[in-house]
Structure 1
Amino acid sequence: MQRRELLRNGTLGVIGAVGTVGASLTAGAASAADLDAKGSARPTFDRTVDVLVIGSGFAGAAAALAAAEAGAEVEIVEKMAFAGGNSALSGGMMAVPGSSVQKKQGIEDSPEKLVEDMQRIGMGLGDPELVRALCNEAADTFEWTRRHGVVWNENLTGKGGHSAKRCMVTKEGTGQGILKPFYAELAQKGVRVRTKAFVSRILRDESDDATAGAVTGVELREGYVFGKPDSGKLVRVGVRRGVVLAYGGFAADKAYRRRLDPKLSDDLKTTNQPGATSELWREASRIGARIIQADWIQCLPTCSPKEEGMGLATHFADIAGALYGCWVSTLTGARFASEFADRKVLTDAIIGVMGKGGQALAVADANGVAEMEKVRPGLLKKVVEAGVVTEHASPEALAKAYGMDPAAFEAGIRDYNALVRAGKDTAFGRPLEKAAKELALDRGPWYASVMSPKLHHCMGGVTVNAATEVLDVMTDRPIPGLYAAGECAGGIHGAVRIGACAVMDCLVNGRKAGAAAAARKA
């Protein structure tokens, strides 16, 4: 059967024809001027742009900037009242293998090494072609961000799963360090950003010619109020070249995530902003985009239960605790995992401690927080004042504050220090930083944070090729005019995403998607 017949008969479970979805115009009622050569109704739009970007985070902003650079008329639509999505809450850390910063500092690394890391941690579920393309283009995209005003702190750091120091944080220490310069330049280039604009339909052509199945626009609600599905005015926006999907994940959508993984109960918190919901995941599926690996949903293990969303304590646990300190169970006063393991391993380990009635603590001393401050200046003051990291004069005081046996905790610290000084973690196999070997846990004051995993990143998404084109579920061929980047695209990170690779993914593939959409013939 031809796609047109499938759509009409409902075989795909979709009603994706531009001439029928949300339109009052039908072939039977159209005037001769509104019909194409085959007698089908032409779509009618309230306005038309070259490229429409759905979503306003890192991927959407990068796509819009790349498309505008290429001379396209671009519009961003965002359903929430503010632009930025989860990226506005991000810690702003990007993995860049083989970067100019690494070379300047004499650090040996390469895209191939990060490919190996991502495939190993992702349990081989990442598409090798997509992973290679991402890693190969990271260094060039990093330089592109610099040209567009992003300033990076060049104190390189590692994250669990990385085999080299290749991660950089923005000078601001947050994702705003990327969003602010990008949006300033988008404004200069005349790119319109419409917030409170909820896309309810993606429109596809059902003609039988060479553009069969092409995406021609969207139907959206302008003036939309989050949580009120019928709010706003219905508007139809056409595209001359393409639509870029950059709508992110669904970790805040309790019903949708529970359908995919019944273990994800409603009481689990998320690092995501409230708008990380499933509407466009469902819509992409409805129009025939193939979605893969959506039931792989990652937790961020290092969050504080005292903070909403991602918070700041996670950065203390990831840097001061995991690189220069240790993680301990309050049940034993001793370490319970390799602090540099991947997020799934650490989430399971922390949940194991919690399941037995204990707390998992990230512990560091004055040496460790001094190293952390090089990467994230000013963080210590913020987390201590917020009460999510506590300060103590001695190991004994720290132990008592968290209900641990002081003797057991001090014995655990001695064991850790012995491993550090020996230069090898024979207990859990954690790679040891050079600075960690030189700076054992022995200088007060002492610091600790409680860790409680939160739902963080949706690993799956629409299937794309290396050119960021979205693939059709029936044909495995690209859907003409439809591109995707960022968390809504699947097949890249596999079962587990390594920290700092999401920002890399969003920026590299967002840039690529925007350029590809702009280059498509109108």
Structure 2
Amino acid sequence: MKKEMVSRRDALKIGALGAAGLAMLGATNATAATILEKDVKFDETYDVIVIGTGFAGLAAAAKASQRGLKVLVVEKMGRVGGNSVINGGGMAVPKNRLQTEYGIKDSNELFIKDCLKAGLGINHVELLETIANRAHEAFEFAVECGAKFQDDKPPLQFGGHTVPRSVFTKNSSGSGIIKPMTKFVEGLPGCKIVRRTKFDDFVMDDKGGVVGITVRTGYRFNKKLLSDDAENTTGEKKVFRAKKGVILAAGGFSADKVFRKLQDPRLGVDQDVTNHLGATSGAMLKAFQIGAMPIHIGWIQQGPWASPDERGFGTAPHMTQGGVFKYGIAVDIRNGKRFMNEMADRKTRADAEYRILHEDPTANPVAFGTSNTFDKNVIATREKALKADVMKQFDTVDALAAHYKIPVDALKASIKKYNDGTKKGVDEFGKPVKTYKGQCIEDKGPYFAIRLQPKPHHTMGGVKINTKAQVISGNTMKPIAGLYAAGEVTGGTHGASRLGSVAVTDCLTFGMIAGENI
């Protein structure tokens, strides 16, 4: 057997995890590699420094600035927004106005119950309760910052949610929040965003508190590296003081091909991902090195609605979530049979798809439906998906079956069984067909189909925070002075798997809280 070599980057990752482990076993926050305040000269001084410009980072910066604090937001990439700007634009808000208008009953308790089911019960409930209690406030804050949401359509029901509770931005993209929020933040007095400025390390005082950061300005991200940039030394080194503290909002690490593989060896370095290339682990690992408690690091969510026929997030998730998953079916092409509840939580569906792909990596499942199986707000995207050849159109079931080499008789039997179930309001896999008012796959075409391929999408794990967004030490079990965190860089909130559209709510809510409390 050929022995795999551990690269320098892998060794650095393992070393960082070792430091995190020492912190949890009782090491002090200040390790031998810690940068101490007494040993540096600060180039610039601020009240608050925010790391990251996604939903969480911008919300934190806005709230801190509105308190009269001088705020610096650092972003390592050339553009703001991270994963947030390419997010699908859905925000889960229990008991929202649209639910009331369309007679949809919801509650905080039901929202939390849904999240716990998807998260396999390992969620930190106090964080979910905080999100539920302030979700509407977070939504209103996004609107205050200039975000515009669709208010002429009922809310959508994402997989794993018991009821429709997700509102969408006007442009069905996270950019509908990020762009106006960036403008809002940059317009606040004493608040500044700097791009191509990479956070490298925390600066600590002699009591283990965070008092600043080291950065590299003029930094250039190297997209050819598989992991965070251990071998990228671009930029000019500077040291910034944060008198009130630092807010870590650096996002997740789904694009960090080395670190994610260390957590889940099933994820190959060549596997496509929905995230932007800068979604790496470096900032989170630095927090571990100063003693932050790691939570749920090995739980990496795969997006079950993605397609192998396009790179990244693309158009397929809109077509599946707003169409063929909701009203149509997904089948195993080898036998023409359904194999999952197409509206289950993401982990359940991704696991079901992987069972097929592990048996035959070439047997990508196919999801399909007819013209009636699309929400109105995704019709325009359907045309884009067809033009890009991500979605294919067929006049008959026979033509669809022939193209994907699916046994046609078995496929027709699966359609009939599903349609019979929707008419009765009962589905063999527990799909909530009653919600869809018996909407079936029509006997007459055209039929729209997409091949499925799970892709790393959201990392459940990160640093442990409390309900005040303070980062908790693995040594003392108390907050690390001067360090707050929000968004995907934190762990515990979503447990084993996050429900779709809860990320925006999570990030905005705890970003606000961090900015309010620091």
TM-score for the superposition, normalised by structure 1:
0.89
2:353 is aligned with 1:350: yes
1:462, distance to aligned residue in structure 2 (A): 0.4
What SS is found at the alignment partner of 2:448?
strand
Residue 19 (structure 1) aligns with: 36
2:98 is aligned with 1:101: yes
| Counterpart code for 1:223 | G
Which structure's CA Rg is the greater one? Answer: 1
Residue 397 (structure 1) aligns with: 399
CA distance in 1, matches of 2:494, 2:502: 8
CA distance in 2, matches of 1:310, 1:344: 17
Residue 293 (structure 1) aligns with: 296
Residue 174 (structure 2) aligns with: 175
What SS is found at the alignment partner of 2:426?
coil
| Counterpart code for 2:67 | A
- Which stretch has the larger CA shift, 9-18 or 415-424? 9-18
1:268, distance to aligned residue in structure 2 (A): 2.0
Residue-by-residue CA offset, 1:297-338 (whole Å, 9 max, x unaligned): 111111111211111111211221121111111112221111
CA distance in 1, matches of 2:354, 2:498: 19
CA distance in 1, matches of 2:489, 2:344: 25
Residue 150 (structure 2) aligns with: 153
1:376, distance to aligned residue in structure 2 (A): 3.1
Residue 219 (structure 2) aligns with: 224
CA distance in 2, matches of 1:376, 1:284: 40
Residue-by-residue CA offset, 1:90-114 (whole Å, 9 max, x unaligned): 1111110111221222211011111
Q: Which structure 2 residues correspond to residues 357-368 of structure 1 after superposition, within 5 A? A: 357=360, 358-368=363-373
1:13, distance to aligned residue in structure 2 (A): 7.2
1:339, distance to aligned residue in structure 2 (A): 0.7
Q: Which structure 2 residues correspond to residues 29-108 of structure 1 after superposition, within 5 A? A: 41=38, 44-108=41-105
CA distance in 1, matches of 2:197, 2:248: 14
TM-score for the superposition, normalised by structure 2:
0.89
| Counterpart code for 1:495 | A
Q: Which structure 2 residues correspond to residues 451-462 of structure 1 after superposition, within 5 A? A: 451-462=452-463
CA distance in 1, matches of 2:464, 2:271: 28
**Unaligned ranges ≥5, structure 2:** 1-22, 223-230
CA contact (8 A) 1:92 1:177 kept: yes
CA contact (8 A) 2:46 2:242 kept: yes
CA distance in 2, matches of 1:377, 1:483: 41
CA contact (8 A) 1:324 1:436 kept: no
- Which stretch has the larger CA shift, 223-232 or 461-470? 223-232
Residue 429 (structure 1) aligns with: 430
CA contact (8 A) 2:472 2:480 kept: yes
Q: Which structure 2 residues correspond to residues 363-382 of structure 1 after superposition, within 5 A? A: 363-369=368-374, 372=375, 374-382=376-384
CA distance in 1, matches of 2:254, 2:62: 27
CA contact (8 A) 1:217 1:237 kept: yes
Q: Count matched residues.
A: 481
**Unaligned ranges ≥5, structure 1:** 1-5, 21-40, 207-211, 518-522
1:269, distance to aligned residue in structure 2 (A): 1.7
2:204 is aligned with 1:204: yes
Residue 240 (structure 1) aligns with: 243
CA contact (8 A) 2:470 2:480 kept: yes
1:348, distance to aligned residue in structure 2 (A): 1.4
CA distance in 1, matches of 2:164, 2:306: 22
Percent identity over the alignment is: 37
CA contact (8 A) 2:160 2:344 kept: yes
| Counterpart code for 2:327 | Y
Residue-by-residue CA offset, 1:66-108 (whole Å, 9 max, x unaligned): 2122222111111111111111211111110111221222211
1:12, distance to aligned residue in structure 2 (A): 5.6
Residue-by-residue CA offset, 1:462-485 (whole Å, 9 max, x unaligned): 010001000111101111111101
1:42, distance to aligned residue in structure 2 (A): 7.4
Q: Which structure 2 residues correspond to residues 256-271 of structure 1 after superposition, within 5 A? A: 256-271=259-274
CA distance in 1, matches of 2:249, 2:494: 16
CA distance in 2, matches of 1:338, 1:92: 24
Residue-by-residue CA offset, 1:198-250 (whole Å, 9 max, x unaligned): 111111111xxxxx322111000001111352111001111121211000111
Distance 1:16 1:99, change over 3 A: farther
Over the aligned positions, Cα root-mean-square deviation in angstroms equals 1.8
Residue 194 (structure 2) aligns with: 194
CA contact (8 A) 1:16 1:205 kept: no
Residue-by-residue CA offset, 1:333-379 (whole Å, 9 max, x unaligned): 2211111111111111111222333221111100012xx2x233511
- Which stretch has the larger CA shift, 323-332 or 464-473? 323-332
Residue-by-residue CA offset, 1:425-462 (whole Å, 9 max, x unaligned): 1x211111543514443342110000100111110110
CA distance in 1, matches of 2:178, 2:29: 38
CA distance in 2, matches of 1:453, 1:395: 25
CA contact (8 A) 2:426 2:434 kept: no
